[in-house]
Structure 1
Amino acid sequence: MIRKLKSGKYRIYSKHPDKETNKRKNLGTFDSLEAAKKHEREIQYFKHTK
């Protein structure tokens, strides 16, 4: 999940909240939406290659 911050940057959050804190994990902050989408694709690729 990508959200735009007040600073104008984009942050990737995990899709499911953490069970202990009940908040979503921060998976990285990026200057552009394209960079955030690229990193999200890399995360999905890594998760499914085992």
Structure 2
Amino acid sequence: MIRKLKSGQYRIYSKKVDPETHKRKNLGTFDSLDAAKKHEKEIQYFKHH
């Protein structure tokens, strides 16, 4: 899940909520939406291979 921050950057959050903190994990912050989408694809690839 990618969200835009007030600073103009984009942050990737996990899809599942962390049971301890009841929040989503921060998986990285990027300056551009394209960079965030690319990294999210890499995360999905890594999770399934």
SS of the residue 2:27 aligns to: strand
TM-score, with structure 1 as normaliser: 0.97
5+ residue gaps, structure 1: none
TM-score, with structure 2 as normaliser: 0.99
Query: Once the two structures are aligned, what percentage of the paired residues are identical?
Result: 84
Displacement of 1:46 = 0.1
Following TM superposition, the consecutive aligned residue runs of length 4 or more in structure 1 with deviations greater than 3 angstroms are: none
Q: CA RMSD in A?
A: 0.2
Displacement of 1:41 = 0.1
